Structure 1
Amino acid sequence: MILIIDNYDSFTYNLVHYVQELGAQTEVHRNDALSVKDVLAKGAEGIILSPGPCDPDRAGICLELLRQAPDDLAIMGVCLGHQAIGQVFGGKVVPAKSIMHGKTSPIHHDGSGVFTGIPNGFAATRYHSLAVERERLPKCLHISALTEDGEIMGLSHKTKPIHGVQFHPESIASDHGHQVLQNFLNLCQKTACAA
């Protein structure tokens, strides 16, 4: 089961539907409906932190969930969830270089993690005015994707199965969104089998 934390965003159920289309069972809870202990007790194979309209400090349990999650629990953050990953591990969330609401950008990536098998320079839809700052990124995080102007579009933790994407793979205007999510589900299966 994939547990999706809903950060009060209209895109959350697009994520839910994509994940279900890929054959995974899902359970959705608002970011303030459960405690971290309750979330972890559900025994999910993976957790997705959804987009949302605010900043990581106002994303309910997301920051604390990232702090308390077992080292082998696969977690993916999308947009706000991605920013929460950056912030909780020591990065800084700052105003983006450009406000991007409903605009597509080519995404250049390293082909690892959630980007496995995806063509470089694929188009992805962005809806954000904040971003994780590149200049002061902590050493535990790896930049896995960037825009042409150097804005971080993907992060992964170097020792934990945690991945974030700033863009929206669940948007119909994003290419390869299903594959990004399938790659995350594959990571969930690997970590669940290793546990």
Structure 2
Amino acid sequence: MNILLLDNYDSFTYNLKALLERSITGSEVTVIRNTDPKILTIITDALIISPGPKTWNETGLLRDVFQKIAIEERKPVLGICLGMQFIAGYFGIETGRMNNPVHGSQALIKHSGDPLFDGIPSEFHAARYNSLGLYEEESEELVFTAFEDDSDAVMALRHKILPIAGFQFHPESFMTVHGEKLIKNFWRYYVKNK
């Protein structure tokens, strides 16, 4: 299986690549920066959108890549941190400054029992590195599936119809207890079952 890992110029991108390769047997992960025009011609089985230091609308060619892979081809997409914010923004949910920005600390996450969290306790610890987040209500297309315990900030979402999901926290961090299981669940639920 070919996976396109779109790099939003983030230092965690290669940790995410290692997690994908470790979690998904037989996967071939190609990392390409969000400004490289060849991302528009890549043929892939799934798109993973990396974290990054900017806002969701400062992501190079990501909008075009997302339109092609997620909307036109209807292939699975997983957004991490900035990647999740991009998904939310694409579907009309704006991000805003967090009341308490979090960089490099563990947060208690509570999930709703969505299949992406199969086999994971309803409360678990995960790494957060973000100063922007979602506080709006769900949209017609997206449903929120996990929240931070302390702030009620949105920590995960998925599309109601398309195979698109996002995590605000970082599954690739050693501080995220079930990172590998989350990636395996995404793969099983969205890629193998499509």
Percent pairwise identity: 35
Q: Distance in 2 between matches of 1:75 and 1:95?
A: 25
2:175 corresponds to: 173
Helix, strand or coil: the match of 1:8?
coil
- Given that residues 56 and 62 in structure 1 are in contact (C-alpha distance below 8 angstroms), is that contact kept between their aligned partners in structure 2? no
Whichever residue aligns with residue 62 of structure 1, its letter is L
Residue in 2 aligned with 1:34? 37
Give matches, 1:91-102, under 5 Å: 91-102=93-104
TM-score (ref. length: structure 2): 0.91
2:105 aligns to what?
103
CA gap 1:34/1:190 in 2 versus in 1, 3 angstroms? farther
Name the SS for the 1:117 alignment partner: coil
Partner of 1:123, secondary structure, is strand
The residue that corresponds to 1:131 in the other structure is 133
Aligned to 1:117: 119
Give the drift of 1:34: 2.6
Q: Deviations over 1:55-103 (max 9, x none)?
A: 0111112223223333631000000000000000010111113100001
Which residues of 2 match residues 120-159 of structure 1 at below 5 A?
Answer: 120-135=122-137, 137-148=138-149, 149-159=151-161
What code does the residue aligned with 1:59 have?
T
For 1:100-132, what per-residue CA distance to the aligned partner results, in whole angstroms no more than 9, with x for missing partners? 000111111122242222111100000000012
SS of equivalent residue, structure 2 residue 130: strand
Instruction: Read off the aligned partner of 2:183 and give its amino acid letter.
Output: L
SS in 1 for 2:86: helix
Say if 1:90 and 1:11 are closer, same or farther in 2 by CA, change over 3 A: same
Q: Secondary structure at the match of 2:119?
A: coil
TM-superposed CA distance for 1:38, in Å, is: 1.1
Question: Equivalents in 1 of 2:18, 2:192: separation in Å?
Answer: 19
The answer to whether the Cα contact below 8 Å between 2:79 and 2:87 also exists between their aligned partners in 1 is yes
- In 2: Cα distance, 1:121 partner to 1:160 partner: 26
Cα 1:110–1:61, aligned 2, differ >3 Å: closer, same or farther? same
CA distance in 2, matches of 1:140, 1:71: 17
Quote the offset at 1:36 in angstroms. 5.6
Q: Residue in 1 aligned with 2:13?
A: 12
Report the equivalent of 1:25: 28
The one-letter code sitting in structure 2 at the alignment partner of 1:55 is: T
- Measure, in 2, the Cα distance between the counterparts of 1:179 and 1:58: 30
Q: Provide closer, same or farther for how the CA distance between residues 34 and 114 of structure 1 changes in structure 2, counting only shifts above 3 A.
A: farther
Take 2:50 and 2:180, find their aligned partners in 1: how far apart are those partners? 15
How many pairs align? 187
Question: What are the ranges of 5 or more consecutive residues in structure 1 without an aligned counterpart?
Answer: none
